[in-house]
Structure 1
Amino acid sequence: MRPLAVCVFCASGPVPEPAIALAGEVGAAIAARGWSLVSGGGRVSMMGAVARAAREGGARTVGVIPEALVEREVADDQADELVVVADMRTRKGEMDARSDAMLALPGGLGTLEELFEAWTSGYLRMHDKPVVVLDPDGFYDPLFTWLESLVGTGFVSARGMAGVVRATTVDGALDALASPEVAHQQRAVVDQQ
């Protein structure tokens, strides 16, 4: 199997230290598999930690950042490639185009927005890339409990819920990103529409 370019969505603001450590563990694991990292191009918080750890492990890192955030001096200027774009919408499109799979770690509104767009785009057959949520501590449990409660109401379908894989360990998440079975399962969900 060819090396993957993994797009990681995660927090870029102040978060507890265990979340920073998780991001670092993910970056190191991506590097250990010989993969590359695509990120939001920030050098702070979890976003910075995942990129630094990936680089320290020898992975190529690509950061995609809106010009306004470069001006705030939060850009990951150590990235192997730093792509500066006009706005957040362009950023997401560029991150998507440069990646083979998407991994969401704990994060805030921006992370949720990125996760939902990747998840929805897969459901709508706009891509067939695996979408995985790494959640070792139950951060996303309330969200998924709510979404699962909507299955059968007409607002959320079971096929839609199957479009994302949840993992509780870094290795489990990365295995899911690389798994032909996961990609096939998610494509099957899309094809059943």
Structure 2
Amino acid sequence: MKNGGRREAMGGFVEATLEFPTVLFSILLLIVIVYWVLVLAGTTDIEDADGFGDFLGGLGLGGAPVAVVGSVLIALAWFASLVGGVLFSGLALAAVTLVIALALAWLCTRLLMVPLRKIFRAGPEASRNDFVGALCVIRTGRVSASFGQAEVTAADGSSAIVQVRQAGEDPLRSGSQALIYDYDVDGEFFWVTPVAPHS
């Protein structure tokens, strides 16, 4: 009796994973599982697709490898659609479940990106040096040889507030643009110079 109940429950689970909209995410989840098995086996590497990375960054999901973000997003969408499919039935409600599952997956993935970004931003010195040559926006009322902050955008679309200093006395005010031209390792700040506005 117990075995029969288990088989019935397993059959119901499999059936639920093959119903719309869960079946869409079931296929994607299967691809994700195969991908990570290949990564663990060492037959493939974690690679980023620039175009898809830009798309995820536009959704607020940047800052971690595309494979990781995509896997989390698909797994959460699959789980949300599975629960929604069990609770609701009917084609109209299935379409609503699809939308809700995608929205919940996006929201939860975005929240998970906060700790994930810290994990994947290892090597602070390298990331700081990457800012040299970039434009930044001043966020303090002034910038001097001993004070100033600016916002700089990284290549992955994320932004950071950094300490900046200037050697001269140019009127760098909040909202003005400046060019980062050097990094002071001892002081842990960037040297900046004003960017002349285009006429």
TM-score, normalised to structure 1, is: 0.22
| Higher share in helix | 2
Larger radius of gyration: 2
- Which of 1 and 2 has higher RCO (CA within 8 Å, sep 6+)? 1
TM-score, normalised to structure 2, is: 0.22
